[in-house]
Amino acid sequence: MHLYDFISEDELNDLPEDNQQAFSSFVRVARRNLSETSRGLNDGDENDWRQLQEMRHGFTNVVLAAAKRYGIEPFLFTNVPKVNKFDSDIYFQLVADLDHYMTQLAIDTSIRQRSESTRLPEASKDKIRSYIHHLKEAIQKSPSFNEAKKERLLDKVAEFEAALGKSRLSYVAVTRLTLEILAVPVTLWSAYDVAHKLLSNINQVVAEAKVEEDEQRKLPALPKPFVMIAPRAPEIEERKKKADFGGGGGRDRNLDDEVPF
């Protein structure tokens, strides 16, 4: 089996830009497709078993290739097993190692997202929703916007509203909305000052909430980068130490020898 049996070209192109996140998404998609393709196969039947082994080896092959391309250190030097040496134990060990790595990545991502987002009190969310309502009105009432432009801007506002509905509001969502609005030439707005003021108010509410949260929780500004750890420590071959029984050629002194003065 080859790459596109596990992930489509569109899915590959849509992977995140961050290498670790891209690898994690790659593995999830590949595992899902492997599970769907192999559903119904009976490993007690010889033909089904051979087909299942081929699929699992193909999965192992493409995942390790992706790990090397994305620079995922725990798997950089893992060799692809030869077909005639591949068995279920090798496959399940790889799956376990992937789960170990992806658990670390998921937790690290969660920690980072807490530092790059904020939990908004309901009162703050209500303020922002009010600003968003007036921002949408400003977009809809601007005579210089054609329908396509209005639709695009309103879609971006809707994306922000969806992000606002989550437990934590990401800075990325705020930044995207800000950039979309600021990218519109001033001359196209019928009330640019109003739109700019609303945007400024949204950013201020988010900033105040984040400062208050950080003060209460005493979080560092940004957690230190986490280095992913391999599931097992490298095996160290202990070298046998040669016992040194002494090879001195000097003749032993008799303890009873007389010490000259």
In whole angstroms, what is the distance from residue 138 CA to residue 144 CA? 11
67 and 7 assigned to the same domain: yes
Same domain, 101 and 198: no
Residue 234 is assigned to a structural domain of this protein: no
Residue 110: inside a domain: yes
Which of 57, 85, 115 is a domain's end point?
115
Domain shared by 109 and 134, yes or no: no
**In angstroms, rounded to a whole number, what is the distance separating the alpha carbons of residues 89 and 105?**
24
State the distance between the two ends of the chain, measured CA to CA, in whole angstroms. Answer: 90
Tally of domains within the chain: 2
0.75 surpassed by pTM = no
Let me know if residue 158 belongs to a domain: yes
In a domain, 8, yes or no: yes
Cβ neighbours of 12 (radius 10 Å): 16
Range of the domain at 182: 117-217
Domain end call among 83, 115, 147: 115
Q: Are residues 103 and 127 in the same domain?
A: no
- Regarding whether 97 and 45 lie in a shared domain, the answer is yes
Question: What local confidence, expressed as pLDDT, does residue 115 receive?
Answer: 78
Give the per-residue pLDDT at 241: 39
DSSP letters of 171-194?
HHHHHHHHHHHHTS-GGG-SSHHH
Q: Do residue 127 and residue 169 come from a single domain? A: yes
Closest to 222 in 3D by CA, of 139, 143, 116, 95 = 116
Please tell me whether residues 86 and 157 are part of one structural domain.
no
Residue 97 lies in a domain: yes
What pLDDT shows up at residue 188?
Answer: 66
48 and 83 fall within a common domain = yes
**Residue 257 within any structural domain of the chain:** no
* Boundary of a domain, candidates 115, 140, 170: 115
Using CA atoms, how far residue 162 sits from 11, 129, 157, 165, in Å, is: 23, 11, 9, 5
- Residue 41 located in a structural domain: yes
Shared domain for 121 and 192, answered yes or no, is yes
Going residue by residue through the chain (261 aa), what tens digit of pLDDT does each one get?
A: 789 999 999 999 999 988 988 999 999 999 999 999 998 888 788 899 999 999 999 999 999 999 999 999 889 888 999 999 999 999 999 999 999 998 988 888 777 777 788 899 999 999 999 999 999 988 888 888 888 888 999 999 999 999 999 999 999 899 999 999 888 887 667 667 788 889 999 999 999 998 888 788 765 555 555 555 555 555 544 444 343 434 444 444 444 444 443
72 and 98 in a single domain? The answer is: yes
Q: Are residues 122 and 95 in the same domain?
A: no
Determine, yes or no, domain membership for 86: yes
How far are the Cα atoms of 52, 79, 90, 125, 236 from residue 134, in angstroms, in the given order? 57, 58, 59, 14, 66
- Same-domain check for residues 51 and 127: no
